[in-house]
Structure 1
Amino acid sequence: MNDQPLDGPDVPRGCPVAHGGAGDLTRLYGAEAALDPHGIYARLRKEYGAVAPILLEGDIPAWLVLGYRENRRVLDNPRQFSRDARIWRDWKEGRVEDSSPLIPMLGWRPDCVSQDGEPHRRLRGAVTDNLLTVAGRGIRRHVTHFANKQIDAFANGGKADLVSDYAEYLPMLVLTRLFGLPAGEGHNLAVSCAQVIKGGEDAVAHNDRIMRILGELADRKRAEPGADFTTGLIGHHAGLDEDEILSHLRLVLITAHITTSNLLARVLQLILTDTSRLAGLVSGQLNVSAVVEEVMWNTPPLAVLPGRFAATDLELGGHHIKEGDLLVLGLTAGNLDPDIRPDAGVSVQGNQSHLAFSGGAHECPGQNIGQAIIETAVDVLLHRLPGLRLAVTPDELTSTASTWEARLDSLPVEFAAQVAGA
């Protein structure tokens, strides 16, 4: 039903703002959302079409964009769908507290993701310039170093969980090197990044911990510059102030780690649940990038992208969107939209038009770095662990979703144990 009637000038039917309660809108958080996000997407698509009214944590209303074409329209039209959260009506009118777990993901910050137009171009230029610089300084060498260190910790045992023992922390260890951070900070930062994405009552505290660590890092790099991303931001000709520097360190750290760790786990899952892919990679007949591409379509690392704010009254997917409404982008739902993929089982090899990297002016600038981390991490793992195989049946693997992602819980494997010192 695409022409959803409204209960007032500003909100969809069932919205808590309209009725003083949660009404009958679907919550994109909580127990059901954690266990069956795909079921929720399918039900919403059937009831509302390509765009559906939903509730986020705290029963804050939003529109979930489910259609591929509708996602593209939002991503490609920043004048209609702004990234500036200061126009978010529920925040402006006091319904979203600063302590809300939504704020670390949706609140305005002095970073390029929160800006449009010329301010966005200025700040994004500083980020992309420095990502290109660090990418040219042997990133695969850093990945190989930390991947081997991670594998050394479990290689003698003949078994491991490739989520908790490998994918969950490896990208952050690489990022500590690129940022100029001590590797010892990697574990704490990885845990805090995961909690910010997960949400809940601890999200703000973990965000504060990240900002404290990054603030101390920026102070050190002003006193002792190095060949790293942090020093590059501080000295960039765009002239970022202190808040802008810290906000961009936070932005890159969280997004790069969370998306890459999640994507690495899903790539390993696909390889280990399909023996033909595993054999193809080991023999050199299959390229890791082809597996990554398939995962990008079917299980993108961010299932839902926060967020856009309607800059004016408009229509999207047959619904009346009001100025100041929040929209969140269903990347997984859009990639699996039956209007563009009537048979989701058909190969998408060679087709890079997925939504996993977002799109438009805010498309992910670090995708090549993420690809390098994943390809190298997979190559090192397959080289180091002969006989690598899944230790459970594929249907025993489970995932837990938050509003923004669906993360693989574990990936137990077995392999030929390494002899110490061999």
Structure 2
Amino acid sequence: MVDDPAVFYGRLRAHGQVVPVHLDGDVPAWLVTGYDACNRVLRDGLTFTRDLGQWRIRREGLLPHGWPLAPHVQPMRNMLFASGEEHTRLRKAFKASLAQVGQLRLRTTVTRVADQLIDAFVRDGEADLVSQYAVPLPGAVLARLFGFPAEEVDQLQRAVMTLLGGGEAALDAHAVLNRLIGVHVRRRRQDQRQDIAIWLLDAGLTEEETRESLWLAINAGVGSSTAWMANTCALLARAEDTRIDLRSGLQHIPGVMSRVLWDHTPVQQIIGRVATADVELAGTAVRCGDLLVVSPAAANLDHARIGGDGTRREAYAEGNSSHLSWGNGAHECPATGLATVLVQGGVERLWTRLDDLHLTYPDQPTRWSPSIIVRIPAALPVSWDAGRASARATTLAPVGAR
């Protein structure tokens, strides 16, 4: 993962908004880096389809055996890979099922899990906010809301993060995730307990569609929420001026989270779209069957299009959600509300209890996970006044008292 995305993508964009790249295993693709070009690809589902069965490399059997990115491009029976009426049907069922997760229940679950995690390290005066907070919190919350038993939560989290990280272990992690989800769906079909699995089944989805819709919800939900939370925590720990503004009320956590969506978007690359005909995209000739990797990370940092004066004032303006962190078009993320509540609740709870946190090693550069899909610090060591934090914790009302 690159250390300075703005510099890296700026150099790529100097060669055009659409540049040829090779993915792991020397697999050719086009990386779409310009804001306007990304928007066109995401919004034009006829010319740039999500049906990866039309990808020429796949169709001709040229993908390397054991390719670590295979799970992310393997056609599945969920809304991510569907088009037209099929996509509409699957997306409608998914959104209706998510809507049954009450906001109060979600916020209460986030706060309860956050407090449990913070309680485990608050008296130490230091922690790695990635491994001890940003990774376990979204996974634990979503696993509870989706009805997975407590003993499966850690395994579920590890499988998702390993899958997103790529490498040789990704395919094994994919198998573990599929097994856990398959067991869960069969369990719910038998016991009829009310959670998202049974709601999807009740909406008319087949068992296969339910399994693969849950795969999408867990993989995308845990991965993107973890990255968003970790990058927001990193900004808080790194930027003293931001912490001062938060304490004085000049900034609020949602504004910090929005800035992260622009500058360190959780989902870096969307793999992908396939050209359904020979087409010219931003001056580049793309052939029918070519794979395009859309880069929200690059698009959001396209200073020629957004924040060209270098200040990013336009991007950071309150209410500006024109970033591509949620995608765009028919396949735009349907769970932005849930993700926002989850991440905001986790970050606000951390800030409420540890508002003097700061980087333990401020002079050391941040190390990033190797994933090309999500941007997550490999570690985020922070410190705080343990005595002050412990004293403050005793004054906070328990969750049930709110």
TM-score (norm 2): 0.91
Q: Residue 109 of structure 1 contacts residue 247 of structure 1 at CA under 8 Å; is this kept in 2?
A: yes
Match 2:118 to one of 148, 151, 157: 151
Match status 1:332 vs 2:297: yes
Unpaired segments of 5 or more residues in structure 2?
395-402
Corresponding residue for residue 43 of structure 2: 76
State the one-letter code of the partner of 1:270. L
Alpha-carbon offset, residue 302 of structure 1: 1.0
Q: Tell me how far apart the structure 2 counterparts of residues 333 and 261 of structure 1 sit (CA, whole Å).
A: 20
Alpha-carbon offset, residue 38 of structure 1: 5.2
Q: Residue 386 of structure 1 contacts residue 416 of structure 1 at CA under 8 Å; is this kept in 2?
A: no
Corresponding residue for residue 171 of structure 1: 138
Corresponding residue for residue 402 of structure 1: 371
Q: Tell me how far apart the structure 2 counterparts of residues 381 and 217 of structure 1 sit (CA, whole Å).
A: 31
Q: Residue 358 of structure 2 contacts residue 382 of structure 2 at CA under 8 Å; is this kept in 1?
A: yes
Q: Residue 5 of structure 2 contacts residue 297 of structure 2 at CA under 8 Å; is this kept in 1?
A: no
User: Aligned-pair RMSD on alpha carbons?
Assistant: 1.9
Alpha-carbon offset, residue 136 of structure 1: 3.5
State the one-letter code of the partner of 1:403. I
Corresponding residue for residue 105 of structure 1: 72
Over 3 Å counting, the alpha-carbon distance change for 1:337 and 1:184 in structure 2 is: same
Q: Tell me how far apart the structure 1 counterparts of residues 104 and 195 of structure 2 sit (CA, whole Å).
A: 9
Identity %: 34
Determine helix, strand or coil for the equivalent of 2:326: coil
Q: Provide Cα deviations, 1:207-239, integer angstroms capped at 9, x if missing partner.
A: 010010011111111122223211211211xx1
Determine helix, strand or coil for the equivalent of 1:58: helix
Corresponding residue for residue 28 of structure 1: none
Q: Residue 105 of structure 1 contacts residue 196 of structure 1 at CA under 8 Å; is this kept in 2?
A: no
Match status 1:356 vs 2:321: no
Alpha-carbon offset, residue 183 of structure 1: 2.7
Alpha-carbon offset, residue 168 of structure 1: 1.2
Q: Provide Cα deviations, 1:275-309, integer angstroms capped at 9, x if missing partner.
A: 23223334444221111111111110011111000
Match 1:222 to one of 181, 189, 197: 189
State the one-letter code of the partner of 1:86. G
Alpha-carbon offset, residue 320 of structure 1: 1.1
Q: Residue 35 of structure 1 contacts residue 401 of structure 1 at CA under 8 Å; is this kept in 2?
A: no
Q: Residue 91 of structure 1 contacts residue 97 of structure 1 at CA under 8 Å; is this kept in 2?
A: no
Q: Residue 302 of structure 1 contacts residue 404 of structure 1 at CA under 8 Å; is this kept in 2?
A: yes
Corresponding residue for residue 126 of structure 1: 93
Which moves more between the two structures, 253-262 or 187-196? 187-196
Alpha-carbon offset, residue 40 of structure 1: 4.4
Q: Provide Cα deviations, 1:126-161, integer angstroms capped at 9, x if missing partner.
A: 111111111445201000010011111111111111
Equivalent positions of 1:379-398 (< 5 A) are 379-385=348-354, 387-393=356-362, 396-398=365-367
Q: Tell me how far apart the structure 2 counterparts of residues 55 and 146 of structure 1 sit (CA, whole Å).
A: 40
State the one-letter code of the partner of 1:96. L
Match 2:18 to one of 48, 51, 57: 51
Match 2:109 to one of 111, 132, 142: 142
Q: Residue 25 of structure 2 contacts residue 64 of structure 2 at CA under 8 Å; is this kept in 1?
A: no
Determine helix, strand or coil for the equivalent of 1:387: coil
Unpaired segments of 5 or more residues in structure 1?
1-32
Alpha-carbon offset, residue 267 of structure 1: 0.8
Match status 1:346 vs 2:315: no
Q: Tell me how far apart the structure 1 counterparts of residues 245 and 55 of structure 2 sit (CA, whole Å).
A: 49
Corresponding residue for residue 60 of structure 2: 93
Determine helix, strand or coil for the equivalent of 1:153: helix
Q: Tell me how far apart the structure 1 counterparts of residues 14 and 241 of structure 2 sit (CA, whole Å).
A: 35
TM-score (norm 1): 0.87
Q: Residue 218 of structure 1 contacts residue 246 of structure 1 at CA under 8 Å; is this kept in 2?
A: yes
Equivalent positions of 1:266-415 (< 5 A) are 266-341=231-306, 342-347=308-313, 348-350=316-318, 351-385=320-354, 387-393=356-362, 396-415=365-384
Q: Provide Cα deviations, 1:229-256, integer angstroms capped at 9, x if missing partner.
A: 11211211xx111111100000000101
Q: Tell me how far apart the structure 2 counterparts of residues 225 and 76 of structure 1 sit (CA, whole Å).
A: 38
Q: Residue 236 of structure 2 contacts residue 358 of structure 2 at CA under 8 Å; is this kept in 1?
A: no
Q: Tell me how far apart the structure 2 counterparts of residues 388 and 35 of structure 1 sit (CA, whole Å).
A: 23
Q: Provide Cα deviations, 1:319-351, integer angstroms capped at 9, x if missing partner.
A: 111111100001111111132132343222221
Q: Tell me how far apart the structure 2 counterparts of residues 73 and 346 of structure 1 sit (CA, whole Å).
A: 23
Q: Provide Cα deviations, 1:361-400, integer angstroms capped at 9, x if missing partner.
A: 0001111111111111122112222532222216533323
Q: Residue 75 of structure 1 contacts residue 81 of structure 1 at CA under 8 Å; is this kept in 2?
A: yes
Q: Residue 271 of structure 1 contacts residue 278 of structure 1 at CA under 8 Å; is this kept in 2?
A: yes
Determine helix, strand or coil for the equivalent of 2:89: helix
Q: Tell me how far apart the structure 1 counterparts of residues 129 and 61 of structure 2 sit (CA, whole Å).
A: 43
Q: Residue 35 of structure 1 contacts residue 400 of structure 1 at CA under 8 Å; is this kept in 2?
A: no
Which moves more between the two structures, 249-258 or 340-349? 340-349
Q: Tell me how far apart the structure 2 counterparts of residues 287 and 34 of structure 1 sit (CA, whole Å).
A: 28
Determine helix, strand or coil for the equivalent of 2:86: helix
